[in-house]
Amino acid sequence: MKQLLFQPHEWMLARRYLRSRRSERFVSLISWSSGIGIAIGVMTLIVVLSVMNGAAAEIRDKMLGFSSHIDVQGPGDTLGDWRGWLTTLEALPEVKRAAPYIQGQVLASYGSRAYGALLKGVDVARSDDIAQHIIRGRFVDDEGSPFQVVMGKTLVRKLGLDLGDQVRLMSPSGGISPSGAAPRMRGFELVGIFDSGFHEYDVGVILTPLAAVQKLNRMGDAVSGIELFLHDREIAGQMTSRVKAVLPPNAWVVDWQRRNRAFFNALKTERLAMGVILSLIIMVAVFNMVASLVMVVMERRKEIAILKTIGASRISVMRIVMLMGTMLSGIGTLAGALLGLLLAWKLDVLLAWIETLTGAQFMSGEVYFIDHIPSKVDPVSVTVIVTISLIMGIAATLYPAWRAASVPPAEALRYE
């Protein structure tokens, strides 16, 4: 056990060998540059993975702000006996709220402008979460016309609308006329504007009372399905089996994780690929450290030979070189982790300052799903990055340590 412990003189020699003499400054510079490379690699990995974790969490929160945790539909396109299903589902203790809905594609037009969108009929009395995103106006809860809509801010801007304007919605669910199938068209009053923070919803979703869509498409009392919002959205996958158990066998049930599986799997794969690619920075720095330690050993052949002559063992010499590499990788990893955590913590402030200074926008909501760069530090990822960096740094010292222990004292001191 005693042989495995580092001795005080070994620590002293390792620190001394890392300090440069005037004739060895180039070698020392290469050694410390490898530690700086490790710091840059660790910092980059932490920042990039934090940004990708933050983006995934932000997109998920925005998507679920206007989307249900579990979607229940009938065997066909519409569900007629939905009231009994709704009562059954509301009785489940895990369900926070259940609401019927109708959705379908429409063409929204105002003046000479027209855009396709998803028209979603909702039960206004059961849509408190939607009201939280409405920034102007609101649904009118009177006994008047139900033909009123709340639209996303981006779609309102594209159509050139303002509150109180009449927007025409054309639904492909038309009837049969003497000339064939014809779409249905109706004017709706814009009574509210919402901001979901998610561009795809702000530009492509129109909300209206349930009765308005039923009258537009002549559906009677039928709906498209029932949305379930849970107290804990993370158990949605487990709840699907329970929901199926209390409903008729022909019920179709899907949770938000399964509904968006391809998208979140793509984000996960991208995060893994970025981690592997950026790890190459650390690997390059580690190989640089191997070369620099070998150069240090070659420059210190005389000192190593004297140490072995006065009784230093091969294990002691190896430990000295391993301590040098461990200090380089440890200082680099620690500095990189601290800088990475600090940068990830204040990334939004830094980017906002750069955008204000340069006038450039790093992320546009019309191109990406979100209009800013979020950051969320994952303690597990940071721990894995630091651990792997330290292991790679220690492993890089094995070959230089073996070279140092193999220096023959007689040959090294022959011409001294």
Q: In the predicted model, is pLDDT for residue 304 greater than 90?
A: no
Please calculate the CA angle 117-122-124 and round it to the nearest 5 degrees.
Answer: 130
Nearest Cα neighbor of 110 from 190, 213, 211, 205 is: 190
Please calculate the CA angle 218-220-224 and round it to the nearest 5 degrees.
Answer: 90
Residue predicted with more confidence, 61 or 256 = 256
Give, rounded to a whole angstrom, the gap between the first and last alpha carbons of the chain: 37
Q: Which residues contact 387 (CB under 8 A, 6 or more apart)?
A: none
Q: Rounded distance, CA 128 to CA 108, Å?
A: 25
**pLDDT digits 0-9 by tens, 46-55:** 888 888 888 7
Model pLDDT, residue 66: 74
Model pLDDT, residue 151: 92
17-31, 308-322, 331-345, range with greatest mean pLDDT: 331-345
Helix axes 379-395, 314-345, angle to 10 degrees: 150
Model pLDDT, residue 119: 92
Mean pLDDT of 389-395: 86
**pLDDT digits 0-9 by tens, 224-264:** 889 998 888 888 888 888 888 888 888 889 988 888 888 78
Mean pLDDT of 67-92: 87
Per DSSP, the residues of 126-149 read: G-HHHHTTEEEE----SSS---EE
DSSP 3-state assignment of 171?
A: strand
Mean pLDDT of 296-322: 74
> With bands split at pLDDT 50, 70 and 90, how would you rate the model's confidence at 221?
confident
Model pLDDT, residue 264: 80
The whole-chain average pLDDT of the chain stands at 80
> With bands split at pLDDT 50, 70 and 90, how would you rate the model's confidence at 23?
very low
Model pLDDT, residue 174: 57
Q: Are 396 and 332 in contact (CB under 8 A)?
A: no
**pLDDT digits 0-9 by tens, 322-372:** 887 888 888 888 999 999 898 888 877 777 777 677 766 666 555 566 666
26-30, 201-205, 292-296, 407-411, range with greatest mean pLDDT: 201-205
**pLDDT digits 0-9 by tens, 93-126:** 998 888 899 988 899 999 889 999 999 988 887 7
Model pLDDT, residue 363: 62
Mean pLDDT of 193-211: 86
Q: Which percentage of the chain shows pLDDT scores above 70? A: 82
Q: In the predicted model, is pLDDT for residue 181 greater than 80?
A: no
Place of tokens 């546009």: 364
**pLDDT digits 0-9 by tens, 117-149:** 999 988 887 777 777 888 888 887 756 678 899
Model pLDDT, residue 3: 47
Element (H, E) at 289: helix 261-299
Model pLDDT, residue 411: 58
Residue predicted with more confidence, 167 or 281 = 167
Mean pLDDT of 395-415: 71
